[in-house]
Amino acid sequence: MSTSSSGLGAFPNVRMRRNRAHSWSRRLVRENALSPNDLIWPLFIIDGESQRQAVSSMPGVERLSIDLIVKAAGDAKALGIPAIAVFPNTAPADKTPDAKEALNADNMVCRAVRAIKDAHGDDIGVICDVALDPYNSDGHDGLVRDGKILNDETVDVLCQQAIVQARAGCDVLAPSDMMDGRIKSIREALDAEGFQNVQLMSYAAKYASGFYGPFRDAVGSGGVLTGDKKTYQMDPANSDEALREVALDIAEGADMLIVKPGMPYLDILRRVKDAFAMPTYAYQVSGEYAMIEAAAQNGWLNGEAAMMESLMAFKRAGADGVLSYYAPRAARLLNDT
């Protein structure tokens, strides 16, 4: 679009800076808004009582024992954050090649969900990952045989994991494993058990990314991971393929979609939102958080400004919300201003 030839005027009649001259005027012409309602807070669970452990590669983020997770859920609720997502740091002794701890109705995630729901009921949404990596001794999201990630066998286990988590009271199940056909199978398995109202938030376009490193430290899956996840997570070079992945997950029954990582994939986010008009969320992943925090700690950028700008960028690119480790900090700032 050429502004002069399209009849929109030209300098000096047009001065774009006029609307930017005052705070009130900038607010008046602002196209996008960020609110605590847009935020989902991912939390890491550890065993014990009153335990908090810093995650060294994610300054400001701590793994919390269940009692403190319940408190954090209360903080989220008070801040107006609609939902939290919980991830377990499973003890190495509980990791096996069949990932059977995923199906233990008393595993850390299930205990945490029950405790959160007992304390806060329907005042906060609880999202659980469906994937085997926290429980698998080789760190993969699926079962491994002869060095290959098995698809259909994994989907069977994911269906059981989904049911176990739904029974614990989880509101939203978020399959993050990128196996083919899992949304359909999980939906059917949930419905057969009477969980028609448990929502599915699919990690529909999830890339084999270098930005997940700090998360793998946080849940303790990085050290054990053999090889990489390129045979199931998407190639960062691909964009059309994301639309196919998303179309399939919608057809299979996904209620909501995640594009992941976030900032390096804003183009994907925009395409997905434009093509499908579904509730669509960006995951600002651990490595994105770590980069901003590392630079901020060095005094190389203003961390708060970078945080808010990065979150707004997701809204501008079409996201309905963002999973972010910044959720409580950003919500506090939004509530104060």
Smallest separation, CB 79 to ligand PBG (Å): 20
Q: CA 24, CA 19: separation in Å to the nearest integer?
A: 9
Smallest separation, CB 200 to ligand PBG (Å): 15
Instruction: Provide CB contacts within 8 A for 237, sequence distance 6+.
Output: none
Residues 132-151 that bind ligand PBG (CB under 6 A): 133, 141
Size of the site for ligand PBG (CB under 6 A): 11
CA atoms within 13 A on the CB side of 330: 28
Q: Are 177 and 159 in contact (CB under 8 A)?
A: no
The reply to whether 204 sits near ligand PBG by the rule CB under 6 A is: no
Smallest separation, CB 332 to ligand PBG (Å): 21
Q: Is the dihedral of CA 127, 203, 142, 288 positive or negative?
A: negative
- 206, 229, 273, 315: which is the annotated catalytic residue? 206
Smallest separation, CB 285 to ligand PBG (Å): 3
Q: Among 114, 143, 142, 113, which residue's Cα sits nearest to residue 128?
A: 113
**Between residues 36 and 214, which has the closer beta carbon with respect to ligand PBG?**
214
Q: Are 165 and 173 in contact (CB under 8 A)?
A: yes
The 3-state secondary structure of 97-138 reads CCCHHHHCCCCHHHHHHHHHHHHHHHHCEEEEEECCCCCECC
Q: CA 8, CA 22: separation in Å to the nearest integer?
A: 23
Q: CA 22, CA 36: separation in Å to the nearest integer?
A: 25
Chain-centroid distance of CA 302 in Å reads: 24
The reply to whether 101 sits near ligand PBG by the rule CB under 6 A is: no
The reply to whether 207 sits near ligand PBG by the rule CB under 6 A is: no
Phi then psi dihedrals of residue 333, to 5 deg:
-65, -40
Smallest separation, CB 269 to ligand PBG (Å): 16
**Between residues 7 and 92, which has the closer beta carbon with respect to ligand PBG?**
92
Q: Are 138 and 144 in contact (CB under 8 A)?
A: yes
**Between residues 141 and 171, which has the closer beta carbon with respect to ligand PBG?**
141
95 classed as catalytic: no
**Between residues 195 and 232, which has the closer beta carbon with respect to ligand PBG?**
232
Binding window for ligand PBG (CB under 6 A); candidates: 49-57, 65-73, 120-128, 211-219:
211-219
Binding pattern for the stretch 278-317 against ligand PBG, x by CB under 6 A and - elsewhere: -------xx-------------------------------
3-state SS class at 33: coil
**Between residues 287 and 318, which has the closer beta carbon with respect to ligand PBG?**
287
Residue written as tokens 């009849």? 7
The reply to whether 84 sits near ligand PBG by the rule CB under 6 A is: no
The token pair at 133 is 């990596």
The reply to whether 129 sits near ligand PBG by the rule CB under 6 A is: yes
230 classed as catalytic: no
Binding pattern for the stretch 226-245 against ligand PBG, x by CB under 6 A and - elsewhere: ---x----------------
- List residues near ligand PBG by CB under 6 A: 129, 131, 133, 141, 176, 212, 215-216, 229, 285-286
| Residues identified as active-site | 206, 260
